[in-house]
Amino acid sequence: MQGRAIPSVVRGAGVGVAGLVLVLASACTGQDSGGSGPQNAGGESPDPVDVRISPQDGAAEVEPNLPVTVESGEGPITDVSVEQSRGASGAGAATAEPTPSASAQSEVGAVTGTLSEDETTWVSDWNLIPGSDVTVTATVETGDGESAEVVSEFSTLPPVEGKRLELQSNFPVSGQTVGVGMPVIVNFDLPVQNKTQVENSMEVTSEQPAEGAWNWFGDKTAVFRPEEYWQPNQHITVDLRLAGVEASEGVYGIENHQLNFDVGRAQISTIDSDTKRMTVERDGAQIKDFPTSIGKADIRKYTTTSGTHLTMEKYEELVMDSSTVGVPVDSPEGYKLDVEYAVRFSNSGEFTHAAPWNDRLGESNESHGCPNLATADAKWFYENSYMGDPLVVTGTDRQLEVDNGWGYWQRSWDEWLANSPTGEPDTTDGEGTPGSVHGTEGS
């Protein structure tokens, strides 16, 4: 599992690493490292210190997705730290908007490490920023109970134009409050082939831990969803440690990002085609019951999709144009209407909206697929909907597709997990992701 911090220990000459963030290391052994090896008082060099660090000190254009290891033949490793600075052609760490605090930026940019049980081997959890100069300091306890420090430096492969994986967009964005069904959606600008490594570079942490997993829709979109809806009224953090991950051959992520959003109250709405009613439950109690009229279903195109939808976006005023769903405006079934209080819940043209012209609400299904509501009811739903609120439609013979809008809850948990390249659930407890983010040399 990625992202576990080094155990809290205090060793040797007062070197404490309780709560330590371990970051990348590179050096050779003792005096042969080419770095600043340990020195005795008076400038005399001590005996060589048996500390082996890979990649080697002085290396240039190191592949940023290679694991960094520290091995001590002396005694326990008590501290490993790394400073990464942008090289002449490198890319630095960044965070998604709005910019979080400096501490949050530091946290997502840090590369933690996992220490072996005998405390003599340390392996990095995360990758390096491409085009960065890296300074590493490793401290170990020697056999005489003293501490020895080895310093080493190297640089990573700079990013190449056209092969820089970047975050194109994400939902939600930092600062939003969303519904309990809201997934984390990450859209990349380039195709991703090494999906397992990229999945393992993206860590979702919630105040109330849950099991979740990533699925991919095409090669550019990754979606994280918990097994069940999120518990309401909690904070979610997403660390996208994309810097250095090899998305495809020779294509590396160049920046890290952090997303911060909140899950609000639990609001779940249901539309029943048979009863022609829309009910709204909040935190387990029904609070609204609206008459509605959904798709007339004489053809598939005019049939409202059944299944678990999520509210996606909303408009106080919207022009609804039949030509956007393949029906010319000047055809017998064509239309171009100005509607109020529209809330989208699929990509196939489905919105709840006000329909003051429809006098059959609660009596018959008359629309071209959108749930029609009275103006006051549509306004209430518009004003009280968060992005990611579940909206369940029942009773029609057209099922919502998993990739129609945000139909991700149409997959059972077993199906969702089976479609994750890692094949393992990821617990959102902040303890790391299921597997390695690293590649192998020359991969």
Q: Is residue 151 part of a domain?
A: yes
Do 260 and 271 share a structural domain? no
> And the tokens for 360?
């059959």
Do 283 and 243 share a structural domain? no
Q: Is residue 443 part of a domain?
A: no
CA angle 58, 60, 64 (to 5 degrees): 115
Do 295 and 348 share a structural domain? yes
* Domain termination residue (choose one: 102, 134, 155): 155
Cis peptide before 332 (omega within 30 of 0): no
DSSP 269: E
DSSP string across 291-326: E-B-B--SSGGGSPPBEEEE--EEEEEEEEEGGGGT
pTM: 0.85
Active site residue 309: no
Q: Is residue 5 part of a domain?
A: no
Out of 28, 257, 309, 353, the active site residue is 353
Structural domain that includes position 120:
10-155
Do 126 and 67 share a structural domain? yes
CATH code of the domain in which 141 resides: 2.60.40.3780
In this structure, what is the dihedral angle of CA atoms 295, 298, 299, 302, given to the nearest 10 degrees? -20
Q: What is the pLDDT of residues 24-78, one digit of tens each?
A: 333 333 334 444 444 443 445 556 789 988 888 999 999 999 988 899 998 999 9
Residue that is written with structure tokens 């097994």 in the block: 227
DSSP 332: T
CATH code of the domain in which 315 resides: 2.40.440.10
Q: Which pLDDT value is given to residue 396?
A: 98
> And the tokens for 335?
């239309």
Do 276 and 249 share a structural domain? no
| Residue (of 258, 130, 251, 103) closest to 189 by Cα position | 251
Pick out the chain residues at pLDDT < 50: 3-43, 89-105
CATH code of the domain in which 180 resides: 2.60.40.3710
Q: What is the pLDDT of residues 257-292, one digit of tens each?
A: 999 999 999 999 999 999 999 999 999 999 999 999
Q: Is residue 186 part of a domain?
A: yes
- 135, amino acid identity: T
> And the tokens for 417?
């997990």
Helix (DSSP H) and strand (DSSP E) numbers for the chain = 4, 30
Do 61 and 145 share a structural domain? yes
Do 258 and 178 share a structural domain? yes
H/E stretch holding 13 reads none
Q: Which pLDDT value is given to residue 2?
A: 56
Do 340 and 245 share a structural domain? no
Neighbours of 245 (CB within 10 A): 28
Q: Which pLDDT value is given to residue 323?
A: 78
Q: Is residue 209 part of a domain?
A: yes
> For the purposes of burial, counting CB atoms within 10 Å of the CB of 374, is it exposed (0-12), middle (13-18) or buried (19 or more)?
middle
Q: Is residue 403 part of a domain?
A: no
Q: What is the pLDDT of residues 381-412, one digit of tens each?
A: 999 999 999 999 999 999 999 999 999 999 99
Do 272 and 258 share a structural domain? no
Active site residue 28: no
Do 93 and 27 share a structural domain? yes
Neighbours of 242 (CB within 10 A): 26
As for how many domains the chain has, the answer is 3
Do 379 and 280 share a structural domain? yes
Q: Which pLDDT value is given to residue 47?
A: 65
Q: Is residue 210 part of a domain?
A: yes
Q: Which pLDDT value is given to residue 88?
A: 54
Q: Is residue 137 part of a domain?
A: yes
Checking phi first, is residue 227 left (phi over 0); if not, alpha (psi -120 to 50) or beta?
A: alpha
Calpha distance 62→441 (Å, rounded): 9
Do 276 and 383 share a structural domain? yes
